[in-house]
Structure 1
Amino acid sequence: MAQQHFWTFCLVLTFVPQILSLECKWMDFHFRHKNELSTGFLKDMGGKLPLKCLTEQINLQFPQNAYNSEDSSTETTVLIAYNVLNHVFNLFDETLTPVSWDLSKLHYFKNILFRQTGKLEECMEGQTAFAGDLHSFADRSELLKTYFEKMENVLKDKNHSVCAWEIVRMQVIRNLEQLHMMLDRAGNP
């Protein structure tokens, strides 16, 4: 009886890594589609940047280096994607959003973000070790954190005005598009 439990235990240990790696298959097959959907909702919910917002002076330097790196391992890609989507979700978790936006599209956008971050968490839980460049990831993560904090400050400084939200929306679209290109470079279909 003990020998049977031993062999069952060995069999489980043999297949656990393969089972855990299935969690990240979502990243390979579904993330891109969900990212395209959320970008589409974000573009459609507010339309074009209003003319009155063109005169707004906001200094936000895009963190291009966070998306460009020699380290394009799956682990790093998952972590960066999770990091970006978490920041975006926190931005749009604000209750003060422009009433001119299509609220149903905003709801769908937030719903997709919530599901994406949940699936990415599952991917990260399935990873037993980080094979990427930890220093590179930390630098990229810090760039993103600083950038998204600046966006939060823009919203606060401008009293969550329509123009501030529109500029933030345009910046988030750019981030999601860069995330898409990062996935292309990492070789995720």
Structure 2
Amino acid sequence: MAFMLSLLMALVLVSYGPEGSLGCYLSQRHMLDARENLRLLAQMNRLSPHSCLQDRKDFGLPQEMVEGDQLQKDQAISVLHEMLQQCFNLFHTERSSAVWNTTLLEQLHIGLQQQLEDLDACLGPVMGEKDSDLGRMGPILTVKKYFQGIHVFLKENEYSDCAWEIVRVEMIRALSSSTTLQKRLRKMGGDLNSP
């Protein structure tokens, strides 16, 4: 009986994640990383935003996607992951390395990578068999189109300092909005895999 109780206790402990909750859970560290990434983006400015007013553009941030009020849990996790992955890719190019302070840029890469790793633990169980269907879902395509517009803008403006400054400000806006989605996912509690 004592052996069975010990075995049961061990199984329960293994089932719990580092934050003490069953299933997928966005840790407090994930939220701190999100705030730190916003702080880093704010520190990266090199130009006065006023000097680039002529280059401003409305990229059509999909507010309903990044705030997630109408998304199911699996969609919300996928949208957040896509937002972070696209932002990571955007700032992880040779052209962005030439523009930004390399120390701040590297810290941003690390912070975004950490957030992506946190979400990978959630994304695996959520996606399961629906992997290919989830990639085609409207919310993910909307986020991809949003970032495609940003890439086109940079290319059309020949990756100028002002173009990057406009994009930096836009990423602050996008990631700030996505914190609403992250908070919603945290409030959903430990098991994000339930309907």
Whether these two folds match at TM > 0.5 is yes
1:101 aligned to 2:62? Answer: no
Instruction: With the length of structure 2 as denominator, give the TM-score of the two structures.
Output: 0.74
Maintained 8 Å contact 1:46/1:100: no
Q: Distance in 2 between matches of 1:158 and 1:86?
A: 23
Tell me how far apart the structure 1 counterparts of residues 138 and 127 of structure 2 sit (CA, whole Å): 22
In 2: Cα distance, 1:188 partner to 1:169 partner: 30
Q: Decide whether the 8 Å contact of 2:86 with 2:147 is kept in 1.
A: yes
Q: Distance in 2 between matches of 1:29 and 1:92?
A: 24
Aligned length, in residue pairs = 175
> 1:157 Cα shift?
0.9
Distance change >3 Å, CA 18–CA 126, structure 1 → 2: farther
Map 1:31-70 to 2 at 5 A. Answer: 31-46=30-45, 49-70=48-69
For residue 142 of structure 1, report the CA deviation from its aligned partner. Answer: 1.4
Q: For structure 1, which runs of at least 5 residues remain unmatched after alignment?
A: 1-6
Query: Counterpart of 1:24?
Result: 24
Q: TM-score, normalised by structure 1?
A: 0.76
Following superposition, the deviation at residue 162 of structure 1 comes to 0.5
CA–CA separation in structure 1 for the residues paired with 2:154 and 2:48: 16
1:143 maps to 2:173: no
Q: Judging changes above 3 Å, is the alpha-carbon distance between structure 1 residues 188 and 108 closer, same or farther for their aligned structure 2 residues?
A: farther
Q: Tell me the secondary structure at the aligned position of residue 94 of structure 2.
A: coil
Q: Which runs of 5+ in 2 are unaligned?
A: 190-195
Output the aligned Cα RMSD: 3.3
Instruction: Name the CA shift for 1:141/1:22 in 2 (closer, same or farther; >3 Å).
Output: same
